[in-house]
Amino acid sequence: MARGALRVLLGAAPGVGKTFAMLEEGHQLRASGRDVVAAVIETHGREATAALVDGLEVVPRREVRHRGVDLHEMDLQAVLDRAPDVALVDELAHTNAPGVLHEKRWQDVEALLAAGIDVVSTVNVQHLESLGDVVEQITGVRQRETVPDAVLRAADRIELVDLQPQALRARLEAGVVYPAARVDAALSNYFRLGNLTALRELALLWLADEVDQALQRYREQQGIDAAWEARERVVVALTGGPEGETLLKRGARVAARSAGGDLLAVHVQRQDGLVDRDPAALAAQHALVERLGGTFHTVVGDDVPRALVQFARASHATQLVIGASRRGWLQTALTGPGIGQAVVRESGDIDVHMVAHAAAASGRRLPSLPDAPLSRARQLAGWATAALGIPLLVWGLYLGAEAASIAADALLLQLGVVVVALIGGIWAASFAALLSGALFLFVLVDPAFRLAVAEPWHVVAVVVFFVSALLVSWVVDRAARTTRAAGRSAAESELLAAISSGVLGGQDSIDAIVARTREALGLTGVRLVQGEHAIALDGLPVDGAGESGREPLSIDVGGGAVLELHGRLLDADERRVLEVVVHQLAASLQHRSVAAVASELEPLAEQDRVRAALLRAVSHDLRRPLAAAAASVGALRSASIPLGEAERAELLETADESLATLGRLVTDLLDVSRVEAGALAVAARAVDVDAAILPALEEVGAGPVAVALELEAVPAVVADPVLLQRVLVNLLTNAVRHSPAGRAVTVATSAFGGHVEVRLTDHGPGIALADRDRAFVPFQRLGDTDNDTGLGLGLALSRGFAEAMGGSLEAETTPGGGLTMVVRLRIADPEVLA
């Protein structure tokens, strides 16, 4: 079965007319003979939209009950069974109610497409997943319902339903979009003119980017390499030289001349290990590119002109900006035209801008020799060997010369050239080949010590010897370069493999990465700093101090972390490896951050589970007095139930008690919220403890359990009298409730160490030592199933009130069994509280 086609109508904001346009499209398709059904249409009470639904077959929605509310969702199975040609599905980003097969409506659409049904749908730009943060910055509203960008990019057609911001605000003012009660709030908040303009531009840019990607896919499928000037893409070539800022600003101006032009900066790194001309300047140019709204890229290649043009073609560039050559006339005369001329030859249909700058044609030096893979000491040794060894070898061959030994002499000299190549590289070997050829012709070929040659074939032999010596020295030098490059690549691979294995294995490998980086790059020290703290360091003292006299190379890792490299300068290849190290460090830091967040979320998840269970219990406790009060009031208001005075009084008393209980429960809930939020208002002053105990006893009232008082003469304490009385009432109520009949509850006071203690002792079952901390957690009853005693907030509130007054509340075991609650309060200083 062929997959259905998806057509999406994209809007910048609600009210632009997406649903209206979708319904019009449905009528047109139906008029053309297509089988069209309205799978789900959201009219939002708009009369014009609802009127367009008439004449279309509407699939009845599925009713889903969630949290006591009836919700109506698209009936996916009914649409599949109906099997129309086209289904109209509104609001692609909608989240379905729990209990529906798919969580998101776009997943329902995927099922319809898989069944061969064409779908026309709608979505606003603020619902695109990739734009959530941008939309929140613009509007201040975070969109919770999103659709992945990949879903829209996979659509067969995306059409923008556009409306000028002023026209949309006019529709709002006319009451077309929202009811009159919501218009003023909408116009002054989400639908401000600036918001709508930014959202419209965002939608246009996203759609333009989608068109650009579609064009690129087509070019790749058709194998088209030529530049299509549908949009200007300006590539600026940077060398790290002083002309970079001039080139970037010129490129930015070229890109700005065409709306939507792109600016790309590229730096080509050679594979021969050459150090960048000015790393600091290149870093500054990188930052300038980003400030100009462009992107910075690095490519590797020995052939700089070809690498530049290849990058430009791969980026579909239409303009290439390069700087005029910095080489002087002497360098140009000796080495020919520079990179600019080669770029012009390679560019084809890409326009090349060669920009003059202050550093152009400033070179006066002879061209430098290509960088060799050998140290300077070995190169000097090679030159010394050539300058001294070749003449000595020729002199020795002359002293033992024979007429028939000229071929052997040539082979020995060629061996000497190979030895020089092995010691000093290609340039020392080239000098040795030239010197040995000249001496061979002047000394060993008859007539000796004269430039005349007796036999013409001797000249041919000398030329062949010179050419073969050059070729041999080139091969030897090339082998040395390849060997060094292979060794370096192996070391780099080992470094990257060690780093990647740690990161991919989920290890916190930051210390290992830092240490391995210092070893591999031969640095004196490496430090990773985040803020003012060193996360990891190697080769440096604990305080992180580096070498004096040279600033360390600092590289931004992301997340506020910076990698500091102490020691020598790094060449281009080492910097390329360093980029990978930085990415791996960023991944490790992110892994560490995610792990820390996960560890923090675990107790929160557990708290959520406990809180859900507790809220169910709370709802039960609140519902009981509320139901009793409602039933009593309902009976009193009923005219069909004859009630006597006694019955009416009983019902009134029941309602009064139930409402009082409900009020206490709600008060406790509000108080515990204030305590946990740290917003509890405390009016602390000097309070007589005895004056707080007696009203608490009166509030608790007489019962089957007696209360014995053992009150000493104690000084006043720092407390809020209202909160202190509530603490004592809660604790007395618990003690009386849990004490067995015939055993009195004791209330005793004492003072020592700057504190007054109030001890409330009962002889009930007590609380196990392991459960005492949990007893002070809100909503904890520790197995108490008595639903007439509250929500389990008493001890939590009592401790919170005591701590808010600067005191404490602790539980101790009563000798002989039971529980003793100890309220400890500071003794008041009359001078301070006066």
What is the CATH classification number for the domain harbouring 786?
Answer: 3.30.565.10
Query: Stretch 671-679: mean pLDDT, rounded?
Result: 52
Indicate the SS3 state at residue 823: strand
Residues 529, 562: Cα–Cα separation, whole Å:
5
Tokens of 544: 């992180």
Asked if omega into 447 is within 30° of 0 (cis), the reply is yes
Which stretch of 232-236, 259-263, 357-361 has the lowest confidence by average pLDDT? 357-361
Query: What are the C-alpha distances in Å from 700 to residues 360, 707, 760?
Result: 96, 11, 14
239 plus 206 within the same structural domain? no
- Residue partners of 104: CB distance under 8 A and separation at least 6: 93, 94, 95, 96, 147
Co-location of 324 and 190 in the same domain: no
| pLDDT computed for residue 59 by the predictor | 93
- Lateral strand order in the sheet of 351-355: 295-300, 262-269, 233-238, 319-323, 351-355
Question: Do both 71 and 131 map to the same domain?
Answer: yes
In a domain, 369, yes or no: no
pLDDT in tens, 563-603: 888 887 776 667 767 777 787 788 777 777 777 777 777 76
Per the domain annotation, does 371 fall within a domain?
no
Q: Please say if the pLDDT value at position 517 is more than 80.
A: no
Residue 50's domain is classified under what CATH number? 3.40.50.300
Are 189 and 247 contained in the same domain? Answer: no
Residue pLDDT, tens place only, 431-454: 887 888 778 777 776 667 776 656
For residue 732, give the amino acid letter. L
Under 8 Å between Cβ of 112 and 85 = no
DSSP alpha helix (H) spans, 189-297:
193-222, 244-256, 279-291
- Choose among 292, 286, 297, 290: nearest CA to 252: 292
Answer yes or no: do 240 and 203 share one domain. Answer: no
CB atoms within 10 A of CB 801: 25
793: confidence class by pLDDT, cuts 50, 70, 90: low
Residue 647 forms part of a structural domain = no
pLDDT at 37: 95
pLDDT of 340 higher than 50: yes
β pairing state of 157-161 and 561-566: unpaired
| Domain co-membership, 341 together with 438 | no
Q: Find tokens 């202190």 and name the residue.
A: 724
Domain boundary among 161, 196, 221: 221
Instruction: Based on the fold, state whether residues 709 and 812 are members of the same structural domain.
Output: yes
Q: Where are the alpha helices (DSSP H) in 638-677?
A: 645-677
Query: Which residues, in sequence order, are bridge partners of residue 558?
Result: 561
Residue 626 is assigned to a structural domain of this protein: no
Percent of the chain with pLDDT strictly greater than 70: 73
Q: Tell me which of 749 and 582 has the higher pLDDT.
A: 749
Q: How many domains does the chain have?
A: 5
Residues 423 and 539 in one domain: no
- pLDDT tens digits, 605-648: 666 665 555 555 555 556 667 777 777 777 777 767 777 778 77
> pLDDT band at residue 361, thresholds of 50, 70 and 90?
very low
Q: Which of 678, 687, 757, 747 has the alpha carbon at shortest distance from 722?
A: 687
Q: Report pLDDT for 800.
A: 79
Rounded to 10°, the helix 279-291/244-256 angle is 20
Which of 52-56, 164-168, 556-560 shows the lowest per-residue confidence on average (mean pLDDT)? 556-560
Query: CB count, 10 Å around CB of 804?
Result: 18
Structural domain containing residue 214: 6-221
Say yes or no: 182 and 281 in one domain.
Answer: no
Does the pLDDT value for residue 532 go beyond 90? no
Residue-wise burial string across 294-329, b where 16 or more C-beta atoms lie within 10 A, e elsewhere: bebbbeeeeebbebbbebbbebbbbbbbbbebbbee
Domain boundary among 307, 324, 355: 355
Rounded to 5°, the CA angle 601-605-606 comes to: 120
Beta bridge partners, 57, equal: 37
**For 22-35, how does the pLDDT look when each residue is reduced to its tens digit (9 = 90+)?**
999 999 999 999 99
Judged on CB neighbours under 10 Å (0-12, 13-18, 19+), 687 is: buried
DSSP assignment of 68-82, as one string? TEEEEE--HHHHHHH
User: Would you say residue 494 lies in a domain?
Assistant: no
What is the structure's pLDDT at 166? 86
Among the three residues 592, 624, 645, which one is the final residue of a domain in this structure?
Answer: 592
Structure-block tokens of residue 356: 């003059």
Task: For residues 245 and 318, state if they share a domain.
Answer: yes
Residue 656 lies in a domain: no
Place 105 in a pLDDT band, splitting at 50, 70 and 90: very high
- The β-bridge partners of 64 are 71
In this structure, the answer to whether residues 430 and 564 fall within a common structural domain is: no
Mean of the per-residue pLDDT values of the chain: 76
**Residue range 306-325, pLDDT digits in tens:** 888 888 887 778 888 888 76
Q: Please indicate, yes or no, whether residues 347 and 422 belong to a single structural domain of this protein.
A: no
Residue 308 lies in a domain: yes
24 lies in some domain: yes
Q: Where residue 577 sits, what CATH number does that domain have?
A: 3.30.450.40
